[in-house]
C-alpha cells in the first residue's frame, strides 16, 4: 500500500480531538505518515492513488445527516492502513466520528501530538442554477 505523503489527504478525514499525553519518540513509531525528512513531492503512483481516493470519497453520498457510508469507508480505509480506529457515535444521529491514529501509539499508550480534523458530511446544493462569480 502506498504511503500517503500529503497531510492534505488526511485532512479529508473527520478526525476527533485527542487529549495530549506523554509522547513517544519518532523512532519508536513506524507510521504510514512519513517523517519530516521525507520528500514533499509525491510520486506519480502516489498522486494517482491520492486522486483515486479523492474520487472514491466524492462519489459516496454524504449529505449532512446521511454520511454513514462515507464514515464507514474512511474507517475501513484507515484501518487497512494500520491505524487504530474508533467509531465514536455522534449523538443519536446514527452516524459517527472517525478517530484514528497509528496503532503503534495506541500500543504505547500515547496520544498523537498533531490533530487533523475535518468534516465528513457535505451540504446539499441550494440551487443548480446558482453561479458564484466572486469571493465574499
Beta bridge partners of 83: 102
Q: Which of 100, 92, 49, 48 is nearest to 71 (CA)?
A: 100
**Can you give the pLDDT at residue 17?**
36
- Dist. CA 57–CA 3, nearest whole Å: 18
Domain ranges of the chain: 1-17+42-126
Report the sign of the C-alpha dihedral through residues 15, 116, 78, 72, in that order: positive
**Can you give the pLDDT at residue 114?**
87
Please give the model's pTM, rounded to 2 decimal places.
Answer: 0.62
**Can you give the pLDDT at residue 33?**
52
**Can you give the pLDDT at residue 118?**
87
**Can you give the pLDDT at residue 135?**
59
CB 14 within 8 A of CB 71: yes
Question: What separation in angstroms does the CA of 86 have from each of 17, 28, 48, 89, 101?
Answer: 12, 22, 28, 10, 9
- Give pLDDT tens digits along the chain (136 positions): 333 333 334 434 433 334 333 444 444 444 455 444 455 799 999 999 999 999 999 999 999 888 999 999 999 999 999 999 999 998 888 889 999 999 999 999 998 888 888 888 888 877 666 665 665 5
**Can you give the pLDDT at residue 66?**
87
Q: Three cell numbers at 67? A: 454520511
Backbone φ and ψ for 88, nearest 5 degrees, come out as: -100, 115
**Can you give the pLDDT at residue 131?**
62
DSSP state of 27: G
Amino acid at each position: 500500500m502506498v504511503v500517503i505523503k500529503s497531510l492534505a489527504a488526511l485532512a479529508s478525514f473527520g478526525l476527533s480531538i485527542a487529549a495530549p499525553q506523554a509522547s513517544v519518540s519518532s523512532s519508536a513509531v513506524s507510521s504510514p505518515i512519513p517523517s519530516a525528512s521525507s520528500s514533499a513531492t509525491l510520486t506519480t503512483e502516489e498522486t494517482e492513488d491520492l486522486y483515486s481516493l479523492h474520487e472514491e470519497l466524492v462519489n459516496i453520498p454524504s449529505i449532512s445527516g446521511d454520511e454513514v457510508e462515507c464514515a464507514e469507508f474512511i474507517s475501513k480505509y484507515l484501518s487497512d492502513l494500520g491505524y487504530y480506529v474508533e467509531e465514536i457515535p455522534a449523538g443519536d444521529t446514527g452516524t459517527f466520528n472517525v478517530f484514528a491514529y497509528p496503532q503503534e501509539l495506541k500500543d504505547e499508550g500515547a496520544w498523537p501530538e498533531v490533530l487533523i480534523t475535518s468534516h465528513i458530511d457535505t451540504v446539499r446544493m441550494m440551487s443548480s442554477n446558482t453561479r458564484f462569480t466572486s469571493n465574499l
